[in-house]
Amino acid sequence: MKSDAVKKGMQQAPHRSLFNALGLTEEEMKKPLIGIVNSYNEIVPGHMNLDKIAEAVKLGVALAGGVPREFPAIAVCDGIAMGHVGMKYSLVTRDLIADSTECMAIAHQFDALVCIPNCDKNVPGLLMAAARLNIPTIFVSGGPMMAGHVKGEKRSLSSMFEAVGSYAAGTMTEEDVYEFECKTCPTCGSCSGMYTANSMNCLTEALGMGLPGNGTIPAVYSERLKLAKHAGMKIMELLEKNIRPRDIMTEKAFRNALTVDMALGCSTNSMLHLPAIAHEAGVELNVDIANEISSRTPNLCHLAPAGPTYMEDLNEAGGVYAVMNELDKKGLLYTDLITATGKTVKENISGCVNRNPQVIRPIDNPYSETGGIAVLRGNLAPDSGVVKRSAVVPEMMVHEGPARVFDCEEDAIEAIKGGKIVAGDVVVIRYEGPKGGPGMREMLNPTSAIAGMGLGSSVALITDGRFSGASRGASIGHVSPEAAVGGPIALVEEGDIIKINIPENRLDLDVSDEELAARKAKWQPREPKVTTGYLARYQKMVTSGNRGAILEL
């Protein structure tokens, strides 16, 4: 056992004395040492139940003959961090989580890990750590929030942000907003739509790193505690069989995850996180693969914010495995891959029927023949931009209009809520990329303001930052190269015509090459916004959005 390095032999007597201080018995010291990486805290709604999940996991580990030892991982609530300087500190935690987990796992020589995440950055951060460490690891999330109910309709966090936009437009009263405020987030769990947290928890299943139901069983269901116990038991089987993350997270597994991503209509943030996880697993996952997979993968789900269904509905319809079973009917998945269940993909999804064709469209009756995410290129985004195609209304799939240029999110929000943005405009928010932000803020406030003011079917938004999974509309993010390094988005001027053609994967500025070259010659880099602390270090090391915003030495 790996943990023998801290438990066995005369040289390890001092180590054993410290285990004695923890109250471990001699019998326990002979058993595998299992790290329980718990993202529990008291500020993130998706994490307030993780103490219960961790207790269930530890019971499962102990029942199967292991010795569980819990340690923490940090997590930021993107909803609380949204729209202010705090959002600069969201994406950057992904690497802190991976690094700190690596430190704890190696310093204490754990034999295996059970990771308990539940929100936007700690799911990918822990997957990155698992790939990097490559010791047997399994995931069990805290589960999604139940949808809220307002005026007889199901609602979620995106509805709340859009309600604020509706209030600014004068179409909703303060009392209406207060009702949304009190009812849209009724339980603990990751917010109830197919936002980033739920996207990544579902893709953890698709990758093969979690048990069935990891992404969809609601946080408040007792079934979630059973799942946690089974994860605790299963890690002992993975350890015995020496099934490790890189055995599971192969190139084909990432292709499966992208295929499921397209079918589910996941958050565009998956196009940051999957390449970063793959990088840690030694797999090259460039964004071009996304369009290749999207071109042959039907979009089967329109979960909020793209449609009126929620994670609880997906769970009742059969969950991620039912979606995968639909995809397998057309041979779209690699099914001979080993997973954290100890079985192959084929064995996992066999018999997982679609119980509600209104939630999971059958493979022969999809929402669209192409996937939920598109990667765009053109002279405005030579290295790429990303859009959640499944959440774009038909009339905005092809659009051109004048650029309305803002150098930060706050200025754009002020203009939108001040009525200065009109139908046909293309809002450009730049210097918000990984380096320029720094930290690549999400833009849920401006997209929600646009939707709330009734402009969702007539105004596009383009940024070198990124979007929340709760964003909808013609919202194109991750534009690379970003403005901070002199990408073409830095050269856009007020009134320039921008052309968007999502079916053809194009994003172009209607300005001649000669004019762009002249503007580039005059462009000067900006002074860093942050010069001290973690963000300053991050800014120096981070790569562009099209590479997953990974860090390089």
Residues tagged active-site: 468
Helix, strand, coil content of the chain in percent (nearest 5): 45, 15, 40
Q: What does the angle CA 65 – CA 115 – CA 47 come to, to the nearest 5 degrees?
A: 120
Token digits of residue 483: 């403005």
Q: Give residue 261's Cα distance to chain centre.
A: 11
End-to-end CA distance of the chain: 32
Can you tell me whether residue 351 is helix, strand or coil?
A: coil
Q: Which residues contact 435 (CB under 8 A, 6 or more apart)?
A: 482, 484, 485, 539, 542
Strand order in the sheet with 33-38: 67-72, 33-38, 112-116, 137-139
Q: Cα–Cα distance between 254 and 541 in angstroms, integer?
A: 25
- Find the largest Cα–Cα distance for the chain: 76
Can you tell me whether residue 215 is helix, strand or coil?
A: coil
Torsion over CA of 325, 331, 337 and 343, rounded to 10 degrees?
30
Torsion over CA of 447, 448, 449 and 455, rounded to 10 degrees?
70
- CB crowding 46-56: b at 16 or more within 10 Å, else e: bbbbbbbbbbb
Amino acid at 422: V
Q: Cα–Cα distance between 346 and 350 in angstroms, integer?
A: 6
Q: Cα–Cα distance between 177 and 427 in angstroms, integer?
A: 26
Considering only CA atoms, which of 510, 399, 498, 405 is closest in space to residue 458?
A: 399
Cβ-in-10-Å burial (0-12, 13-18, 19+) of 8 comes to middle
